Structure formats: structure tokens, C-alpha cells
């Protein structure tokens, strides 16, 4: 049946769309002008940076809109090696991998229990987590610095989670990502049907088994959204590493590395390498985003739509 009706529907849709276009007329053209204007506004600074990363120092300080005479690929080599962009990027990957994994594991565990198990104090614990959304992180900076410093003096694990360690930063990222993750996932777990879990309990499955083998797979769409949210948020974080990794340059994350080249270097800075470093920081993000744009858009806007 569908095969016979669908062409008719398709033509009527096409017709309708054409009608609408005609009706929009000059307004439609104006829409495109406005939209194209913003597109240019967004893309040109980024493309200009890409272009500058192929220039020599003299070309960069010459006319901003000139093209490079020959593409200088060595700018990228210097950014990667001498400006340590390769190292910083690796650090960012390591930190974000562990912190997002930890955030998702601990966040979904807490959210699941709070959403599905009524017990005394449930509401209080939930509100404790959610209240974290109301506090500006700047209020906590000083005490947080000393908390992490003190954690560093603990026996055995201290050296891995103190100041200037990736472990310390990972734990802080997890803790500060919990409020939103718990808030979002608790709401999500509440919407899931209970029948499957109950059937599993009847079959003798344990609580944790039901969580890991039934509830988590069922919560996949919510987990994907919030994972993307956390990956991007933690990848782009600048304030916390600035405070917690100050004196260990080899531990720095990418945002710190990029900011450092431009702020500290001053007059004898390697500007060509700076542009190359910027390109190296921007391009992968845009490629990944373009490939996963649907998931990323819905992941980042998920919080605001709830």
C-alpha cells in the first residue's frame, strides 16, 4: 500500500514546499542573506587562523589578509614539539578519559539509587547533589586548592591525587560533574519502565546485576547525551587545571598550553607556531563535532530542555 501512495504524498509535499518558497519570496531571500551573514561571521575567524598557521612570522605581521607564499608545515612540527602541544593534548585525553568514565560510573550509580530506591534520607542526598548546581566554582577555589594539597599528604595514594597530578584533577572533575550528571540521570531513570527489572528480580538477579545488565543498557540514550556533555565540558575546562596543575608544566592540559603560548611568551613568541597550535586545538574538535553533530547538539542542549 505504501508503495502506491508514497509518490503521491511525495509530490504533494514537494508541491507544498514549492508553494511555500514562492510565498516567502523576497522574505526567503532576506532570510538567506541574514543566515549567510552569521555563517561568514562564524567561519571567517576560524579559517583565517587556519590560514595563518601556514604563514611565516613576516607574513603574519604583514597584511592580515595575505596568503602564505608557500605553506609552512614546519609550524605544526614546532607547535607539536617545542610548544608541547602533542604532550598537552595527550594529557587532556588521559584526564578526560578517566574523569568522564568516573563521572558516568559514579553518577549513574548514585542517580539510579536515588531515582529507584525509596529510603530515609533519599531526598536529602538528592538535594545535596543538586544544590551543587547553584554554587559558582570560584567560591570554592581557595579551599579546594588546600583540600587537594592535603590529599597529597595521604599515605600511599597521596602522591597520585595531590596538587600537580592528573589523578587529583580527575577526582575534582568527577566531583564537580556529579551535580548535573546525577540531576539529569535521576530524571532519566525515573522515566524508564520497571517491568523488566522486576522480572529479573523474580528470576533471582541481584540489585547490582540488574543495574549493570538491564538498567544501564536501557538508559543508553540518556547516558550518551550526558557523556558527550561531560567530555566536552571537561575537555574545555581551563579554570580548575589553572589552579591545580600550576607548577607542573609537563602535566598541563591543552587549554593551559594554548593560553600559555599567547600570554607568557610576549615579544619573542613563536607566532607562527601559536597559530599552528590553535589549528591543532580547533580542527579535531570541529571534525569530531561535524561527524557526531546530531548527538553532540542534543547532548549539549539536553540539560536546558529537561
107 part of the interface to other proteins, by CB under 8 A: yes
Q: Using an 8 Å Cβ cutoff, are 60 and 271 in contact?
A: yes
Closest approach of other proteins to the CB of residue 152, in Å? 13
28 part of the interface to other proteins, by CB under 8 A: yes
Closest approach of other proteins to the CB of residue 94, in Å? 17
Q: Is the dihedral of CA 132, 133, 137, 139 positive or negative?
A: negative
Q: Using an 8 Å Cβ cutoff, are 192 and 116 in contact?
A: no
93 part of the interface to other proteins, by CB under 8 A: no
Category of 84 on φ-ψ map: left (φ > 0), alpha (ψ -120 to 50) or beta = left
Q: What is the DSSP secondary-structure string of 103-169?
A: HHHHHHHHHHHHHH---TTHHHHHHHHHHGGGS-HHHHHHHHHHHHHHHTTSTTTHHHHSTT-HHHH
267 part of the interface to other proteins, by CB under 8 A: no
Q: Which of residues 128-147 bind other proteins (CB under 8 A)?
A: 128-129, 132, 134-145, 147
Q: What are the distances in angstroms from CA 196 to CA 48, 110, 114, 143?
A: 54, 20, 19, 45
Nearer to other proteins, 223 or 281 (CB): 281
Nearer to other proteins, 87 or 246 (CB): 246
Nearer to other proteins, 39 or 82 (CB): 39
Nearer to other proteins, 1 or 243 (CB): 243
What is the signed CA dihedral for 141, 147, 153, 155, rounded to 10 degrees?
Answer: -140
Nearer to other proteins, 1 or 27 (CB): 27
Select the residue interacting with other proteins from 230, 255, 272, 273 (CB under 8 A): 255
115 part of the interface to other proteins, by CB under 8 A: no
Q: Using an 8 Å Cβ cutoff, are 155 and 106 in contact?
A: no
Contact region for other proteins (CB under 8 A) — 31-39, 70-78, 185-193, 213-221?
A: 31-39
Select the residue interacting with other proteins from 9, 10, 43, 77 (CB under 8 A): 43
Contact letters for other proteins, residues 273-292 (x by CB under 8 A): -xx--x--xx--xx-xxx--
What is the signed CA dihedral for 36, 38, 41, 42, rounded to 10 degrees?
Answer: -100
Q: Which of residues 206-235 bind other proteins (CB under 8 A)?
A: 206-208, 211, 232, 235
239 part of the interface to other proteins, by CB under 8 A: yes
Q: Which of residues 161-200 bind other proteins (CB under 8 A)?
A: 171-172, 174-176, 178-179, 182
Amino acid at each position: 500500500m505504501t508503495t502506491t501512495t508514497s509518490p503521491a504524498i511525495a509530490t504533494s509535499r514537494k508541491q507544498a514546499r514549492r508553494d511555500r518558497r514562492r510565498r516567502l519570496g523576497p522574505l526567503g531571500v532576506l532570510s538567506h542573506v541574514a543566515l549567510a551573514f552569521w555563517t561568514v561571521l562564524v567561519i571567517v575567524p576560524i579559517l583565517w587562523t587556519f590560514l595563518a598557521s601556514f604563514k611565516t612570522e613576516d607574513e603574519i605581521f604583514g597584511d592580515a589578509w595575505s596568503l602564505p607564499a608557500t605553506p609552512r608545515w614546519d609550524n605544526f612540527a614546532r607547535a607539536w614539539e617545542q610548544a608541547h602541544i602533542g604532550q598537552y593534548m595527550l594529557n587532556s585525553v588521559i584526564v578526560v578519559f578517566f574523569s568522564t568514565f568516573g563521572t558516568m560510573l559514579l553518577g549513574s550509580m548514585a542517580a539510579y539509587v536515588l531515582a529507584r530506591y525509596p529510603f530515609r534520607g533519599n531526598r536529602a542526598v538528592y538535594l545535596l547533589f543538586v544544590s551543587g548546581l547553584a554554587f559558582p566554582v570560584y567560591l570554592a577555589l581557595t579551599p579546594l586548592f588546600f583540600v587537594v594539597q592535603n590529599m597529597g599528604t595521604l599515605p600511599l595514594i597521596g602522591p597520585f591525587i595531590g596538587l600537580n597530578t592528573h589523578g587529583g584533577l580527575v577526582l575534582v572533575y568527577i566531583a564537580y560533574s556529579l551535580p548535573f550528571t546525577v540531576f539529569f540521570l535521576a530524571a532519566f531513570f525515573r522515566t524508564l519502565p520497571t517491568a523488566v527489572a522486576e522480572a529479573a528480580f523474580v528470576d533471582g538477579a541481584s540489585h547490582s546485576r540488574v543495574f549493570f545488565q538491564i538498567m544501564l543498557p536501557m538508559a543508553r540514550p540518556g547516558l550518551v547525551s550526558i557523556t558527550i556533555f561531560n567530555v566536552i565540558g571537561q575537555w574545555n575546562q581551563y579554570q580548575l587545571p589553572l589552579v591545580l596543575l600550576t607548577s607542573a608544566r609537563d602535566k598541563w592540559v591543552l587549554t593551559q598550553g594554548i593560553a600559555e603560548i599567547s600570554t607568557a611568551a610576549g615579544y619573542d613568541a613563536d607566532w607562527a607556531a601559536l597559530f599552528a597550535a590553535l589549528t591543532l586545538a580547533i580542527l579535531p574538535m570541529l571534525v569530531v563535532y561535524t561527524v557526531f553533530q546530531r548527538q553532540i547538539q542534543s547532548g549539549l542542549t539536553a540539560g536546558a530542555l529537561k
